[in-house]
Structure 1
């Protein structure tokens, strides 16, 4: 019989190739093609949730497929976004909701678009454009034209500001043809040097900027979501033949985000891996939360999970002990997506919720 570590290494030895094979599977390819074709048509949250196939693909990508049916809840998660610490998503204990809301932050997008539309016609100079409150209009335009990669540092922004003063006469060029063309389009749209005070009075041009911004947002969402969906499907498919491989892949993906024992205890899948690797019985999950944290913290330096070599050693131990124990006790789907109470005691879950929600 093929061991967990052998199967895990077969997948991760060339992860890019493994993901490509998963992406090419008929069902995955069809769903992905639909998402990529239709996400660009989305203008707002209503559009997003109205297309059930699109919406469900996104929830699956962020590990929330089991909650896709709860549209009222998911709408509330997305409506508040993540800009405010008190938003609904930020107050939830499960990181997946925050990640989902951050990726599809229609609230912030609407706010920034409204600000741009209300104020751009008032801008009459390059200085006014760039020195706008927190550079909001300038940043919005940069995002719309896909120039974030060349306007990231103060020096890069200064170079673009100088180019705006010169307009199409600027000598600033970019080696990437796609970026350079976008930059030329940007200069044409905000041609203060040529049109002077009327540069931002062209309503059609400014509306085109808004539409470009929407398209840029959707392109980013498509890239991130498709990558996440493919990884989720890879893990799920591997789990169909060996659920411990799925656990190992899941742990590897989440490891860089693990900072302390409380994060482990709040996630049934992470907890299963840690308990197995440490040779601890699942009954440990029923003791006092702080005592549990002390046990895990004493035996694990969580910083080690940032080191690929040490993470591999940890997962090798997990794989060996998992195989010797005869496999995990729950099916992969129920383990990875069931409520946290399946992995920790009810009293522990309640305590974790208070910690995560500030006692609310």
Structure 2
């Protein structure tokens, strides 16, 4: 097992190193990249469990066996899927039903905790005629589940990316490749298990192949996701004019996903001083081009700092201006719709929906409430 252990150690070390770097480095840390970091850490933890198993740690300390029995692999496709959705600002993120993706993992936790409490910790004991048969069925379902669950989520994510709306997205090509990589990894895993059952491939060879594939997968994610696509901070001048003028060094915090981010400060300046939100045709690509950064990076900045998607963030400025105009007597002669369009909203529906989302009131209700306040 020496060769397999070396492969495992390399894979585990790489996974934890890259995973924690993404989660805690000021250059990589963001709400979107967090899910990428979680995905990598789950893979690293799974391989670490296998490594401990090869060293017979769980046989020597059975009390910890529950950590091995719980199928953590159910979490990988969930974090993976969240990363895809975050990267493209998909509307599914607003759905509370997305929490249902955690059910397979919760099922595994409950089943394995109950089983271990009885058989390992011996906290209680009960018997009935079909108990072992039922346990066998449950664990078979669990095994089939973690194969199929990974396939289904990867295919679902790929089908979303194939939608015309996301074909031209900045990160579309790389995210599709990520889905293909995951399907390939799971397929290899299944085939190796089948070959082992039929031809007796051997535990050491099977583990070495699977872990080598996982290690390459992690390295590919990190290389393409962080370096090639620059999902982290982009260290370059905002415009060609900035290159001509020597400026003081910028701290890491100004490049991180915080309010001190240089690009976010530029964006805030454009909105607060140049009122670019008043343009009803304003879009993410236009602003990204103005700031000389990618649309995907701009999306991450807005998402992580404001906790809103790009459209909601821009509309919040429009709503604020509408509120200011409603409070200004000079605009009493104008209809609310005219005020909304003046602030940059493109349609009545968007105006009313955005206003109520921001304030909890319709424009009419807000205006009526303000008049009552003035009377008193």
- In the superposition, the TM-score normalised over structure 1's length comes to 0.28
